[in-house]
């Protein structure tokens, strides 16, 4: 059987292959899914890819499988590891951070101002996949970004460097990298913070994903991936963001929640309300991603247990301390009995509430001129119409819809969270990331398949 497209999701432990057909018709189809352990450590990711294709063939009871195109998302080989260096934390450093996170990066180090010796040592020790330099509004401060570029260009690191700062520096930055014989590693894009209170993160996000695709194929174990994957390869979190962005164009403002074993990602795509924007003290990107590295329901399970507290957990689950201790000590990645499922649902609920509250902005009172003035800071989710659940926990747990409804219910009036009228949608086929990368090739089909997976009904 021949498919139009196969999309591989190459994870740190598991590789999944999703098959799609009839993409250029009114009724594009998600046909099936195969999976296999990821084989980066074996030195060739294609071993796992081929095994996942065989698993797909077996599940569909087919003798042969062929396809026109294979695309991929990847979080293998550590995902997209970046360091980000700006001028002022609340301005250019924050803008650069938003660009990197929205592209699907894991930010391992963020600095503001001129790099110090310890900063430079940390960059060397981290050996990131990409380094992002920003700093200065256009025609504003120049010295910090130039200094940081000089220090980074001198490092014995052969990794791509993206410059997204003051446009007056562009020629000098080029010269710095030429003098260090690294001009082939330099990418120059529009300023992420061209004017005060103006964000311009999308050009940088696009270049980050392009650079990731160009260089991921040189990562250990990934060198042969282009023998099978002919189309784009983008970071898996970036693919979820792409899917969220195209869906928002079709159905309206939304937030996507992805609870995983190690982290919880929130992707929001909304400009917020006019009322909140009028009192917002600093700009936020339309599309924003936050990743909570301490909130995972498997690898970081004990972090969530600590946040809830053992006594509260006993009460919520209505279990004795001995059973709770057993659930904690014998925790499994995929729950397979009632007690385990209930335990993971409670962990997932806490991860959803805490991560949503961290992602959303809030109100703050300022005392000025003898009076009190309310201001807003952070991301405004009050106009969000849909809350989408994706990832293993929120697509498979029995109480997934109830868990996502807790986002609005957790608001005590001080946070800019979605309201109770926001509708809950579930990525039932668990294909959101795959459709994010598919949208690069066929946006119309990707939107139709997304709405099918979400069981979306027009109002």
Over the stretch 299-311, which tens digit does the pLDDT of each residue have?
A: 899 999 999 999 9
pLDDT of residue 406: 97
Backbone angles phi, psi at 377, to 5 degrees: -140, 145
Q: What is the pLDDT of residue 96?
A: 95
Q: Supply the pLDDT for residue 219.
A: 80
- Please give the Cα distance from 432 to 444 (Å, whole number): 14
CATH code linked to domain 81-216: 3.40.50.2300
Q: Is the pLDDT of residue 172 over 80?
A: yes
Predicted local distance difference test score (pLDDT) of residue 458? 80
Name the segment(s) of the chain with CATH classification 3.40.50.2300: 81-216
CATH homologous superfamily of 2-77+220-231 equals ATPase, nucleotide binding domain (3.30.420.40)
> Which residues does 20 contact at the CB level (< 8 Å), separation at least 6?
3, 4, 5, 6, 7, 28, 29, 30, 31, 438, 445, 449
Tell me the pLDDT tens digit for each residue of 90-117: 899 999 999 999 999 999 999 999 999 9
pLDDT of residue 185: 96
Contacts for 105 with CB less than 8 Å, ≥ 6 apart: 79, 80, 81, 82, 130, 208, 235, 237, 238
Domain 236-453 has CATH 3.40.50: no
Using the CB atoms, write b or e for 275-284: b if 16+ within 10 Å: ebeeebeeeb
Nearest CA-CA partner of 269 in 440, 406, 98: 98
pLDDT classification of 151: cutoffs 50, 70, 90: very high
Judge if pTM exceeds 0.75.
yes
Percent residues over pLDDT 90 in the chain: 86
CATH 3.30.420.40 region(s) of the chain?
A: 2-77+220-231
Q: Provide the pLDDT for residue 216.
A: 83
Do 381 and 418 touch, CB atoms closer than 8 A? yes
């Amino acid at each position: 059987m021949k498919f139009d497209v196969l999309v591989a999701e190459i994870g740190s432990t598991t590789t999944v292959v999703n098959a799609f057909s009839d993409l250029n018709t009114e009724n594009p189809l998600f046909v099936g899914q195969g999976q296999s352990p990821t084989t980066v450590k074996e030195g060739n990711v294609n071993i796992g890819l081929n095994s996942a294709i065989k698993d797909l063939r077996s599940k569909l009871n087919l003798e042969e499988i062929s396809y026109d195109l294979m695309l991929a998302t990847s979080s293998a080989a550590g995902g997209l590891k970046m360091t980000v260096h700006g001028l002022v934390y609340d301005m250019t450093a924050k803008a650069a951070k938003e660009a990197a996170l929205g592209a699907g990066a894991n930010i391992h180090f963020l600095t503001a101002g001129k790099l110090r010796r310890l900063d430079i040592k940390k960059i060397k020790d981290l050996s990131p996949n990409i380094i992002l330099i920003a700093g200065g509004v256009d025609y504003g401060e120049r010295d910090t970004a130039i200094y940081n570029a000089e220090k980074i260009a001198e490092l014995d690191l052969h990794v791509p460097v993206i410059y997204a700062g003051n446009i007056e520096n562009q020629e000098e930055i080029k010269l710095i990298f030429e003098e260090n014989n690294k001009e082939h590693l330099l990418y120059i894009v529009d300023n992420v913070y061209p004017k005060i209170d103006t964000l311009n993160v999308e050009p940088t996000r696009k270049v980050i994903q392009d650079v990731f695709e160009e260089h991921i194929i040189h990562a250990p174990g990934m060198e042969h991936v282009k023998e099978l994957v002919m189309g784009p390869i983008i970071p898996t979190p970036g693919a979820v963001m792409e899917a969220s962005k195209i869906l928002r164009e079709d159905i309206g403002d939304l937030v996507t929640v992805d609870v995983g074993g190690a982290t919880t990602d929130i992707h929001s795509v909304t400009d917020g309300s006019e009322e909140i924007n009028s009192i917002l003290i600093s700009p936020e990107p339309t599309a924003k991603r936050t990743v909570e590295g301490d909130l995972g329901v498997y690898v970081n399970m004990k972090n969530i247990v600590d946040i809830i507290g053992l006594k509260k957990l006993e009460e919520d689950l209505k279990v004795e301390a001995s059973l709770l201790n057993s659930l904690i000590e014998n925790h499994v990645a995929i729950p397979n009995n009632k007690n385990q499922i209930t335990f993971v649902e409670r962990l997932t609920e806490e991860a959803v509430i805490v991560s949503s509250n961290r992602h959303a902005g809030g109100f703050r009172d300022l005392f000025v001129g003898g009076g009190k003035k309310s201001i807003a800071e952070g991301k405004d989710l009050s106009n969000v119409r849909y809350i989408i659940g994706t990832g293993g926990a929120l697509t498979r747990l029995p109480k997934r819809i109830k868990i996502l409804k807790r986002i609005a219910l957790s608001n005590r009036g001080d946070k800019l969270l979605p309201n109770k009228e926001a509708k809950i949608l579930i990525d039932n086929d668990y294909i959101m990331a795959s459709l994010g990368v598919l949208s690069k090739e066929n946006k119309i089909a990707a939107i139709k398949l997304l709405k099918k997976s979400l069981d979306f009904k027009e109002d």
